[in-house]
Amino acid sequence: MTARGRGRPPADGKIVSPESILSEALGILRADGLDGLTMRALATRVGINPMTIYHHFKDRDGLIKALAEKVYADVSAPEVGDILARARSLLAAYYAKVVLYPALTLAIFARPAIFPDHAKRITHELTSLLSERTYSSEHSLRWTHILVDYTHGAALAVAIQNRSIGHQSSNEAMLSDFESGVAALLEAFWHSLDHRSA
């Protein structure tokens, strides 16, 4: 009798794609948070052997990084329009993902080694937008950190409130508050350029 090769389909013939595993993992993440996202729980939900998950994602950190890449893949600024409006749109798109998957954001904070490429891209995109208004890369990077930190704080506060009340609050009102805050910060960024050039 030969041992079953790594990645070979299970005996019942069920073949599950990495994408379908990630989709189910996101469902667990939204319902039960990071603590509920175990390899065994995910395997049970998908109806596969846990070793299949390890084959695709190596370990739990690999799974979390793949989830982050999937979640943040479509976060980007519009290709045309006013630079500051494009920055607002980018931050609003990222805010929405953090509100939806706060546990994913916290997991990335706790594990710098799994920081997703798409998160790096989003940061670089925002820095590039701000750099179009200033010749100082240090200045644009500083304001990128300010804006991203504000986005994280606002989104995680909403997510914590939603969890404490047991359901989604009026996210539309919260989004409006967030967008007002971003607009105020971008206005401060704009005025800081006037001050630097004076």
25-34 pLDDT, tens per residue?
999 998 888 9
Q: What is the CATH number of the domain that holds 48?
A: 1.10.10
Whether residues 173 and 97 share a domain: the answer is: yes
Whether residues 118 and 148 share a domain: the answer is: yes
| Integer CA distances (angstroms), 5 to 8, 9, 27, in order | 5, 9, 30
CB-based contacts of 196, cutoff 8 Å, min separation 6: 134, 136, 139
Residue 144: the pLDDT is: 96
**pLDDT 10s digits, 125-164:** 999 999 987 767 898 999 999 999 999 999 999 988 877 6
pTM above 0.75, yes or no: yes
Whether residues 46 and 114 share a domain: the answer is: no
Whether residues 36 and 77 share a domain: the answer is: no
- Which of residues 57, 81, 105 is at a domain's end? 57
Q: What is the CATH number of the domain that holds 93?
A: 1.10.357
Cα-Cα-Cα-Cα dihedral of 156, 161, 167, 172, to 10°?
-70
For residues 99 and 52, the answer to whether their CB atoms sit within 8 Å is no
Please report whether residue 107 resides in a domain: yes
Distance of CA 141 to the CA centre of its chain: 20
Q: Would you say the C-alpha torsion 98, 104, 107, 108 has a positive or negative sign? A: negative
Domain that holds residue 46: 18-57
Residue 168: the pLDDT is: 56
| Integer CA distances (angstroms), 58 to 8, 97, 110, 124, in order | 15, 25, 19, 28
Residue 2: the pLDDT is: 42
Residue 196: the pLDDT is: 54
Residue 198: the pLDDT is: 45
Residue 16: the pLDDT is: 85
Whether residues 164 and 76 share a domain: the answer is: yes
Number of domains in the chain: 2
Whether residues 116 and 148 share a domain: the answer is: yes
Q: Which residues of the chain have pLDDT under 70?
A: 1-14, 135, 164-171, 194-198
Residue 63: the pLDDT is: 96
For residues 37 and 25, the answer to whether their CB atoms sit within 8 Å is yes
CB-based contacts of 71, cutoff 8 Å, min separation 6: 26, 97, 100, 101, 104
Please report whether residue 63 resides in a domain: no
**Token pair listed for 148:** 């991203």
